[in-house]
Chains A and B, each alone.
Chain A
Amino acid sequence: MTRHPLWLLAALAPLAVAAPQDDDAALQLADDAPTVATAQRDWAAFAELALGDSQARSGDDPSGDARLSLDARLDRALALGWRLVLADRLDMRWLGGLDEQRSVNTLKEAYLGWQPAPEWLLDLGRINTRYGAGTGFNPTDFFKVGALRSVSSVEPSSLRENRLGVVMGRGQWLWRGGSLTAIYAPKLDNAPSDDPFSLDLGASNPRDRGLLVLGHAFSDAFNPQLLLYREAGEDLQAGLNWSALLGDATVAYLEWAGGRAPSLAGRAAGEDDRAFRAAFVTGVTWTAPSKLSLTLEYQRDNAAADAAQWKALQNGRPDAYWRYRALAGQRQALTTRESAMLYARWQDALVQRLDFSGFVRHDLVDASNATWLEARWRGEQADLALQWQYSAGDALSNHGGLPLRQRWQALVAHYF
């Protein structure tokens, strides 16, 4: 039998009795815990005030700016099986002074839902429907094209939240472990609108579109989602989403979409260079016990410019270069053929309620980088956040070609 020195036993003795004391203290806390009553609500709303300061690459820095955003969502049961969903966001911006103000209202959703049976759902109206397993690029998110009306942050989740829904009819049939969804979105207008309070049907519904989504969980590890998408004047596109668990802390995912389509440069130039082209994103998210989550993602879009095409665009006419970039932004597509992204989120970092998050996008064609970091403190009803955005690279590179080099933004959000 191992003999322990007396001093070690003496040192360990308090530890041996510590647990019951801790348990008693914990139970006493529970005895004194207040009663919390939370009513179920069918609405949510928040207001966000942001102050920003930017540095231009040209050295001609713009003046500071301010933004006040009001965001609200209602999801109300009207009668048995019927629901009304409304979601709207108003962004009011001031550039330089109080007299230079511009507002943009985004009607994100407004639709009626009917569930005649537990397995059947029908919706009609403006709906923000989104597919895609990827974090920073979603080739199967077919309705993202033209959906951004007002950008308040380059953070991927912000780009998904603050966008126009599409006016559509949507039906879904459910069975155990799977479902089939059919969507039809008609053309309702020709061109996007700059009117601050426009419904902007020209941005959300510029042409007839249809989408079929089939999902089934064959097992926990194999639950693919298959998509078929068609829009007027274009060829059929197929899509796939799949994610799987690798151990206790890692999720791997794959998102793929492909079909005959023009290249991005072809679209920008008005040329029909239609061919089979695919885009995909694959990545892993790993979470540490310290509440740090890391996502590493590879993104590829064969419709985007490869190294030679990108070089040609950079060396070509400026208007063609900027038209190409504007189209890539409008379609939320990759600007160049391939990219990598590291996304990190550290919850309760250093102190409780303080979260750090950020990403680095690295363009694998021209080696430019975009970085975004945020420190956010979560209060009971309000958030305080400081954001920093920086783009680096050669002139006219993907990220180095952006007019702004750096941007700071401080914001406070209040949740009602």
Chain B
Amino acid sequence: MRDVMFISFEGKAMQRHEHSGIRGWFSPFPLLPSLFPARPFPVRSTLAGLLLCIATSAFAAPDAQTILAASDAVRNPDKPFGLTTTLLEYRNGKQTDSTTLAVYSRAAPDSGQFRSLLRFLAPARDADKLMLKNGNDLWFYDPASKGTVRISPQQRLLGQAANGDVVTVNLAGDYNATLAGEEDITDGDRQPRHAWKLDLKARAPDVTYHRIEMWIDTANNRPVKSRFYAESGSLLKTAYYRRYQSQLGVARPTETVIIDGLDPNWVTVMRFSDYAWRDVPEAWLQRDYLPRFRPQ
């Protein structure tokens, strides 16, 4: 069993055993095993057993926020990194658009939230255009006009790039999670999974998705499926995280299938490839660097 380091939503390092699930994240009462050693209790076995059951059920109950942070860590590496995102858009079963982006990401030291530079690789008309995303602080740069302009989150949603940064969002930083139960569901690869169902509510009102339902595999904290809702309660997107492969030392989803909530015939397939550790200096993640950015 291999130990893997992760950065939590608070930016603190935590350790877990890769295959032990959420129960391996921490023990709220580290002395509990010594109080109840693993040997028979011939005299007080009934009382001890009862206490053990109470303790186990009380303290092994998973913490939803911790599950969410663990799931974030499955999607997002803990050091500055880069990847290529390919977005294929389908309408009524036919491919209508495709966009390829190079993404460079780095987590903020204080909030743990990712800041990302997105560079368009394709289509050719959009090549080398850049978007800087730092929460709702969004800047767009066009190398032809040399202009760097601030854009609103709603403007970001105009293009497929709206989905391009979904991969580098630490949900635990922006949402309060509660455990809504456990469910047996079918994942994006049509495999049965036993999953925590989390209900995520946005901490701040200025987020695009005010509520998220998320299913996370109880065995390994892998995100399986999410549903994103608007403030009105209407379903905006459904996402399946699938095709898990080892990337930068951890099994991560290399494909996300996004289904539009209002028009289920509008499907976007996002593929993530070319994961690599990248040096993304803090000073580069600002408006005034966009005209100077050059990929490494």
Contact = CB atoms under 8 A, between A and B. Distances in A.
B135 A133 contact: no
Contacts of A27: 188, 190, 240, 242, 257
A131 to B, nearest CB: 9
Contact of A178 (B157, B288, B292): B288
B179 interface: no
A33 B90 CA distance: 10
A258 to B, nearest CB: 22
Interface of A: 18-19, 22-23, 25-27, 29-30, 33-34, 36, 38, 40-41, 44, 46, 73, 75, 77, 83, 113, 115, 118-119, 121, 128-130, 132-133, 157, 160-161, 172, 174-179, 181, 213, 215, 217, 220, 223, 225, 243-245, 247-251, 253, 285, 287-289, 291, 293, 347, 352-353, 378, 380-381, 383, 413, 415-416
Contacts of B84: 38
A58 B209 CA distance: 57
A167 to B, nearest CB: 16
Ranked nearest first, the 7 interchain pairs of A and B with the lowest CB-CB distance are: A249-B154, A22-B264, A415-B124, A174-B283, A160-B145, A38-B100, A179-B288
A223 B136 CA distance: 14
Contact of A29 (B145, B267, B294): B267
A174 B125 contact: no
Contacts of B86: 36, 38
B151 A251 contact: yes
Contact of A179 (B98, B240, B264, B286): B286
B41 interface: no
A130 B145 contact: yes
B167 interface: no
Given A33-B88, A40-B102, A160-B145, A26 B257 contact: yes
Contacts of B150: 133, 243-245, 251, 253
Contacts of B271: 33, 36
Contacts of B45: none
B255 A30 contact: yes
Given A250-B152, A352-B91, A381-B124, A129 B146 contact: yes
B122 to A, nearest CB: 5
Contacts of A217: 137, 286-287
A40 B295 contact: yes
Question: Is chain B's interface secondary structure helix, strand, loop, or mixed overall?
Answer: mixed
A118 to B, nearest CB: 4
A413 to B, nearest CB: 8
Contact of A247 (B142, B206, B255, B279): B206
Given A22-B259, A160-B147, 19 more contacts: A23-B238, A23-B240, A23-B259, A26-B264, A29-B269, A33-B269, A36-B98, A77-B294, A118-B283, A128-B146, A160-B146, A172-B288, A174-B288, A179-B286, A181-B288, A243-B149, A352-B91, A353-B96, A381-B123
B158 A220 contact: no
11 contacts: A26-B259, A29-B269, A36-B271, A41-B127, A119-B283, A176-B283, A245-B152, A248-B152, A253-B150, A285-B152, A352-B91
B267 A30 contact: yes
Contacts of A347: 158-159
B239 to A, nearest CB: 10
B241 to A, nearest CB: 12
Contacts of B154: 248-249, 287-289
A353 B97 contact: yes
A38 B154 CA distance: 28
B289 interface: yes
Nearest to B259: A26
Interface in B90-105: 90-91, 93, 95-98, 100, 102
B153 interface: yes
B158 A291 contact: yes
B208 interface: yes
Contacts of A247: 152, 206
A245 B137 CA distance: 8
Residue of A36, A220, A223, A352 contacting most chain B CB atoms (<10 Å): A36
B206 A248 contact: yes
B244 interface: no
Nearest to B89: A352
A36 B289 contact: no
Contacts of B267: 26, 29-30
B128 interface: yes
A154 B263 CA distance: 37
Contacts of A73: 128, 143-144
Contacts of B151: 251
B59 interface: no
A174 B286 contact: yes
A40 B259 contact: no
B42 interface: no
B46 interface: no
B16 to A, nearest CB: 29
Contacts of A77: 294
Given A18-B264, A352-B96, A383 B125 contact: yes
Contacts of A220: 134-137
